[in-house]
């Protein structure tokens, strides 16, 4: 199974269009050891021919152009694409807006929880994806299924499972109490398995807490991509970017007793990769002490174009 990181940044990417913060400005200035990042998404293939996208970001057009595996076959029909399916983990803008980039009459399948497909159904702009050729298939949480493109199974199985999180920002209901109307299925993690070899990995780009159920699921995993939005809960406030903590945004931070480094300490995960990294996060700088701390704890920091094979 081949895995390509199409994008490793959180919403806004790096540099973010309206941000003059240290990292966004640093990328524009060409600071060494600080890479530009598009918004978080993976492409996965079991056979090197058919590819499945995990989320579709507003940067998808650029990501496809920069990824030869996702280009149309020049020997095929004039309109063709190796992208056979998209699996969604939530309804956030950075994870669904890229569906609009796939609107040129090409058949593929969209998988999402009932909640997330409900969001697409309520937003008529997504009707540019003609339902006659772009199937929308609800995922039953906790049940693995074979991913199918327009020509049948692609050799991958996916299981979606609920993780602690928050409803998409633009759907928050202030009147619904402190969880803003969040329901099961608003944020899910994915287990992706190569059907023939049984190799598998987990993709959890948004997560508010590693609870016991999630620990149990991830224990001993060969590979986990995990929410790396922030290093500290209040870093966006401290940098004057946004009056919100990670906790308020539904994202864990890396450091401290309730952070990801601590939560994964005893999970025995063979390869741990942070993804969905916000432009405020100091680990983006390869020479930072925060980067040294996550490296010491056994984590990789994903970058655009990173390739992994299982």
CA angle centred on 16, ends 187 and 248, rounded to 5°: 40
Report which residue's Cβ sits closest to ligand MLT.
Answer: 11
Residue 153, number of CB atoms within 10 A of its CB: 15
Site map for ligand MLT, 196-225, x if CB under 6 A?
Answer: ----------x-------------------
Answer whether 101's CB lies under 8 Å from 57's CB.
no
Q: How distant is the alpha carbon of residue 86 from its chain centre?
A: 12
The residue among 46 and 214 lying less far from ligand MLT, judged by its C-beta, is: 214
The phi and psi torsions of 64 (rounded to 5 degrees) equal: -65, -45
Number of chain positions touching ligand MLT (CB under 6 A): 8
Q: How near is the Cβ of 32 to Mn ion at its closest, in Å? A: 27
The residue among 11 and 15 lying less far from ligand MLT, judged by its C-beta, is: 11
Residue 246 interacting partner from ligand MLT, Mn ion, none (CB closer than 5 to 8 Å by kind):
none
Residue 169 interacting partner from ligand MLT, Mn ion, none (CB closer than 5 to 8 Å by kind):
ligand MLT
Residue 118, number of CB atoms within 10 A of its CB: 15
Work out whether 10 is an interface residue with ligand MLT (CB under 6 A).
Answer: yes
Residue 189 interacting partner from ligand MLT, Mn ion, none (CB closer than 5 to 8 Å by kind):
none
Beta strand spans in 130-288 (E): 134-138, 144-149, 152-162, 188-194, 200-204, 224-227, 272-275
Q: How near is the Cβ of 93 to ligand MLT at its closest, in Å? A: 5
Task: Please pick, from the candidates 137, 169, 221, 297, the single residue that binds ligand MLT as defined by CB under 6 A.
Answer: 169
The residue among 109 and 279 lying less far from Mn ion, judged by its C-beta, is: 279
Greatest Cα pair distance, the chain, in angstroms, is 56
Beta strand spans in 20-117 (E): 41-45, 51-54, 83-87, 108-112
Q: What is the DSSP letter of 288?
A: S
Site map for ligand MLT, 76-115, x if CB under 6 A?
Answer: ----------------xxx---------------------
The residue among 11 and 98 lying less far from Mn ion, judged by its C-beta, is: 11
How many whole angstroms separate alpha carbon 92 and alpha carbon 248?
Answer: 15
Site residues (vs Mn ion, CB under 5 A) = 10-11, 92, 94
Q: How near is the Cβ of 10 to ligand MLT at its closest, in Å? A: 6
- What residues numbered 26-85 form the site for ligand MLT, per CB under 6 A? none
Q: In what order do the strands lie in the sheet with 83-87?
A: 134-138, 108-112, 83-87, 51-54, 41-45, 2-7, 307-309
Site map for ligand MLT, 111-150, x if CB under 6 A?
Answer: ----------------------------------------
Helices marked H in 124-234: 212-218
Q: How near is the Cβ of 81 to Mn ion at its closest, in Å? A: 25
Question: Site residues (CB under 6 A) for ligand MLT?
Answer: 10-11, 92-94, 169, 206, 249
């Amino acid at each position: 199974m081949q895995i390509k990181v199409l994008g490793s940044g959180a919403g806004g990417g790096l540099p973010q269009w309206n941000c003059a913060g240290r990292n966004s400005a640093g990328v524009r200035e060409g600071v060494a050891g600080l890479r530009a990042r598009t918004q978080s998404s993976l492409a996965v293939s079991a056979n090197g021919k058919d590819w499945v996208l995990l989320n579709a970001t507003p940067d998808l057009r650029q990501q496809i152009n920069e990824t030869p595996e996702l280009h149309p076959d020049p020997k095929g029909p004039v309109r063709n694409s190796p992208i056979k399916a998209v699996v969604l983990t939530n309804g956030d803008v950075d994870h669904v807006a890229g569906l609009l980039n796939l609107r040129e009459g090409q058949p593929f399948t969209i998988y999402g929880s009932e909640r997330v497909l409900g969001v697409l159904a309520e937003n008529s702009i997504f009707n540019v994806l003609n339902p006659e050729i772009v199937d929308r298939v609800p995922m039953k949480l906790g049940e693995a299924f074979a991913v199918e493109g327009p020509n049948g199974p692609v050799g991958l199985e996916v299981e979606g499972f609920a993780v602690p999180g928050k409803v998409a920002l633009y759907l928050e209901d202030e009147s619904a109490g402190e969880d803003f109307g969040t329901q099961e299925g608003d944020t899910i993690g994915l287990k992706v398995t190569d059907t023939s070899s049984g190799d598998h990995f987990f993709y959890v780009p948004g997560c508010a807490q590693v609870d016991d159920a999630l620990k149990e699921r991830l224990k001993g995993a060969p590979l986990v991509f995990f929410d790396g939005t922030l290093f500290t809960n209040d870093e966006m406030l401290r940098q004057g970017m946004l009056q919100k903590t990670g906790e308020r945004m539904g994202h864990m931070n890396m450091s401290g007793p309730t952070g990801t480094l601590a939560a994964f300490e005893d999970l025995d995960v063979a390869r741990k990769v942070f993804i969905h990294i916000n432009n405020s996060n100091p680990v983006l700088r390869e020479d930072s002490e925060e980067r040294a701390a996550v490296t010491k704890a056994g984590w990789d920091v994903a970058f655009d174009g990173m390739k992994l094979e299982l």
